[in-house]
Structures are given as C-alpha cells and as structure tokens.
Amino acid sequence: MRDFCGHGIGRKPHEEPQIPNYLDGKAKAGPKIKNGMVFCLEPMICQKDSKPIILENKWDVVSADGLRGSHYEHTVAVINGKAEILSLA
C-alpha cells in the first residue's frame, strides 16, 4: 500500500529510515543497515489498488478498490550482524 511504510525505532516509535513496502528506483540505494539498529517492518498487501483510503475514525485504512488486504508487523533488531525478530519473543 502506497503512502505507508515500515520505519526505524529509537527514542521515538517512528524514526528514520523509512522502509517502503514497494520498490521505487534502485534496490540497495537507501541507508546502510548497521549493528544496533531496530526496525518495525510493516508490509501491507493489496489485491489490486495500492491507493489508501483513511476512514472517518482517522485510524482505519482500506484500499481504494475495497478488496481485502493484509497488514503484518514485526520488530527486528540487528544484533552482532544478524537480524533478531523481537516481536516473536
């Protein structure tokens, strides 16, 4: 889904870098992942239309075509050069 992305987590819950759910431009062109970084990965999958519609409650989001979608979320930390999925603990 366009306009939404995963993100870094630090002193605030939403920090840089932004981690899009789609590829625009060149792969591997973003910031380098380093030891100690923590990310929230939030893939949002749509069947056809990736345009988001935010509902009246200002929280719920649906795709413009009204078809079913899915949203997953995991928090991942880079520890000793390896990705550790924190949200599985």
pLDDT digits (tens, 9 = 90+) for 1-28: 888 899 999 998 899 999 888 887 788 7
Q: Is residue 29 part of a domain?
A: no
Q: Has residue 27 been placed in a domain?
A: no
Residue 77 lies in a domain: yes
Residue 30 lies in a domain: no
Residue 28 placed within a domain: no
Within-domain flag for 58: yes
The reply to whether 10 falls in a domain is yes
Strand bridging mode 5-8 / 38-41: antiparallel
* Helix-then-strand count for the chain, H and E: 0, 9
What pairs with residue 62 in β-bridges? 53
Q: Does residue 82 belong to any structural domain of this protein?
A: yes
Q: Are 63 and 51 in contact (CB under 8 A)?
A: yes
Query: Residue 29: pLDDT band by 50, 70, 90 thresholds?
Result: confident
Domain that holds residue 11: 5-22+35-88
Task: Judge if pTM exceeds 0.85.
Answer: no
Structural domain count, the chain: 1
